[in-house]
Each structure stands twice: as C-alpha cells, then as structure tokens.
Amino acid sequence: MRGTVQYESRTEKRLMRALVAEDDPGIRRLIAGMLEMDGWDVREAADGQEAVDIAEDWHPDAVVIDVMMPNKDGITAVREIREMEGGEGVGVVVVSAKATAEGEAMEAGSDDFMSKPFDPDELSARAKAAMRWHQAQAADTAELSAP
C-alpha cells in the first residue's frame, strides 16, 4: 500500500471509498487493484445499473466509470449518481476508448475524463484530485453556512 486515503469528519474516520464501473473484467480489476494499492476501499460494478445501485447504497467518495457498458451506459449512470442525495459531492472520473465522449461526460457531471489506454497511476491521481476538490467544496459550503 502506497498510502492511506482517509475520509475524516467530526463523527467518522474511514478509508476513502472508490467505485470502479467497467464492463471489461481485466481493466476493472487493474483499476480497482491500483486504487486499493493507494489505500482506497474499492467496490466494483460490471455495468452502469450496478454502479448506480452500489453508489446509492454505499455512498462512494469517488467513481471511476467507463462510458460504454451494458444495461446502462456510463454517461446515464453519472447523471443518476449526481442526482442522488450526496451525489454532488462525489468525485467522478470517466474513462473511455471513445475520445469524442469527453464533452458528453463533462456535461453529465464528470469532474475529469481520460481516454483509454490510460496510465493507472495517473488515473489514481485524478480520482484523488476529484475527491479532494469535492471535499474542499463541502468544507467551504459548511464554513459559509456556519453561524
């Protein structure tokens, strides 16, 4: 393990949670393994619907999701995750073999986009950056709303 990525609030301290949604089991395992080595608690989904279901129940801090998947594509899944309670606070990185999907991914609510093939270390770094950005936004919002 290279380091531990932790979430800490006044009431809770735990590993950061990453959801990896990819229909290719080899790529999914590669991404999940890299994130686990970086200290993330990782769950895996083989399609977009499974990703939405896991996100709704497990509340990940970051999602790495492919665009082209069965049952529900990644773009639709990102939109649905963003609409969930707390979904605006999830760091989302979309990956795709289709470089033309970047605009659609960003419009759906992705924080970042990477074309396949990608460097797993860079993907892990981008997932952390997206998660940190959302944590900073949440902290700023809490600070502004404090009495």
Domains of the chain: 6-139 (3.40.50.2300)
Residue 92: which of 108, 103, 104 has the closest Cα? 108
Q: What is the pLDDT of residues 103-136, one digit of tens each?
A: 999 999 999 999 999 898 899 889 989 888 877 7
Q: What is the pLDDT of residues 23-55, one digit of tens each?
A: 999 999 999 999 999 889 999 999 999 999 999
Q: Please indicate whether residue 13 or residue 92 has the higher confidence score (pLDDT).
A: 92
Q: Read off the amino acid at residue 41.
A: D
Beta bridge partners of 14: 7
